Amino acid sequence: MKQIGSRIKELRREKGMTLKELGNAIDFNYSNLSKIERGDRKPTLELLESLAEYFDKDVSFFFGTREEIPEEIQELGVEWVTFSEEMKSKNISLSELKVLAETLATIKNNSND
């Protein structure tokens, strides 16, 4: 999530704001905002929406350029991008997720029989 934190910090600095000023502007604890900027804490979707509104950006701005996000993820939306980032941070690959999904589908199908 460091990428997201870096983008938040970049926007804040472009406006010449301190963490405390930004925290007050969006009604969010500046100490937690600092942790998010450093990558020590994950932002919630609600926080990203507040920041996007405040800075007049699309929420997708925080996840990188469209070229940096795989096309199949772009089509799924912000929640899936967040999920993808979380899986990457846990070293879980897309192929491992596909195997898990197939296993869950098999279990679900077997329980419906």
| Domain of residue 68, CATH code | 1.10.260.40
| Among 1-15, 21-35, 53-67, 98-112, the range of highest mean pLDDT | 21-35
| Residue 20: domain span | 2-112
How many domains, the chain? 1
Provide the whole-model pTM.
0.57
Q: Indicate if the pLDDT at residue 70 is higher than 70.
A: no
* Alpha-carbon span 92 to 40, nearest angstrom: 19
Q: What are phi and psi of 18, to 5 degrees?
A: -85, 165
* Token pair recorded at residue 33: 């905002």
Cα 24 from Cα 87, distance rounded (Å) = 31
* Structure token digits, residue 35: 């942790």
CB distance 7 to 43 below 8 Å: no
